[in-house]
A and B are shown apart, each in its own frame.
Chain A
Amino acid sequence: EIVLTQSPATLSLSPGERATLSCRASQSVSNFLAWYQQKPGQAPRLLIYDASNRATGIPARFSGSGSATEFTLTISSLEPEDVAVYFCQQRSNWAGLTFGGGTKVEIK
């Protein structure tokens, strides 16, 4: 099983600040990694796919980068509506999809 480790567990920033979230894979997943945003009481929403492609309707302040085992989700200027938990997910092995444990983003 490919284990995805996200850090930090919680990120507390002021509006307008840059948020950098990390996802590390236990083995290479090439670029087969996605990021999801989950707000309280809601289902996850796809933000980024294949490491760096924004999904339909996702604001340009969200960007993804990385490959192999190291990935980053960046929110260039944090908005109050970005408060959520963010999960990474790999599809390198469709017989064993896995998600990271999540990073909670809070507003100071």
Chain B
Amino acid sequence: QVQLQESGPGLVKPSETLSLTCTVACDSIGSCYWSWIRQPAGKGLEWIGRISSTGISNYNPSLKSRVTMSVDTSKNQFSLNLSSVTAADTAVYYCARRGASNYFDSWGQGTLVTVSS
């Protein structure tokens, strides 16, 4: 199974930008897609968006105005920026890879981000 690892601040102030990075690997340029998915404590999963190894992105319409994703294949990383955060953005954030099945077959361990002053 492919290893993914999220990193970034665990605490972000309201109205600021949440920034996370995921270390990934892609053995075939042009065919890898990675997503960010979040989960508030005790709740369900919410897909934030995805980006390909060539920079093609799709975002959840409900978050689209605040989300930016980018990829740096030279560093084997892709990133999430979520602007103007509120307490409602407090969650465990996962990065996940789209596998050959076209579903998420590899996940990071998740990183808790708390929005609080």
Instruction: Give B50-67 interface residues, CB cut-off 8 Å to A.
Output: 50, 58, 60-62
Residues on A close to B: CB < 8 A?
A: 1, 34, 36, 43-46, 49-50, 53, 55-56, 87, 89, 91, 94-102
Interface residues on B, range: 20 to 34
A44 touches B45 (CB 8 A): yes
Please tell me which one of the listed residues B44, B58, B101, B109 contacts residue A99 in the complex, with CB atoms under 8 A apart: B44
Query: CB-CB < 8 A to A99: which residues of B?
Result: 44-47
Interface residues of B, Cβ cutoff 8 Å to A: 35, 44-47, 50, 58, 60-62, 94, 96, 99, 101-105, 107-110
Tell me how far the C-beta of B45 lies from the nearest C-beta in chain A, rounded to whole angstroms. Answer: 4
> B69 to chain A: closest CB distance in Å?
14
Q: Please tell me if the beta carbons of A94 and B101 are within 8 angstroms of each other in the complex.
A: no
Q: Is B45 touching A87 in the complex (CB atoms < 8 A)?
A: yes
When distances are taken between beta carbons in the complex, the residues of chain A under 8 Å from B58 are 94-95
Q: Is the CB of B44 within 8 A of A87?
A: yes
5 contacts between A and B (CB under 8 A): A34-B103, A46-B101, A56-B105, A91-B103, A97-B35
Contact with B94, one of A43, A95, A97, A98 (Cβ below 8 angstroms)? A43
Set B61, B99, B101, B104: member contacting A44, Cβ < 8 A: B104
The residue in chain B whose Cβ has the minimal distance to the Cβ of A32 is: B102
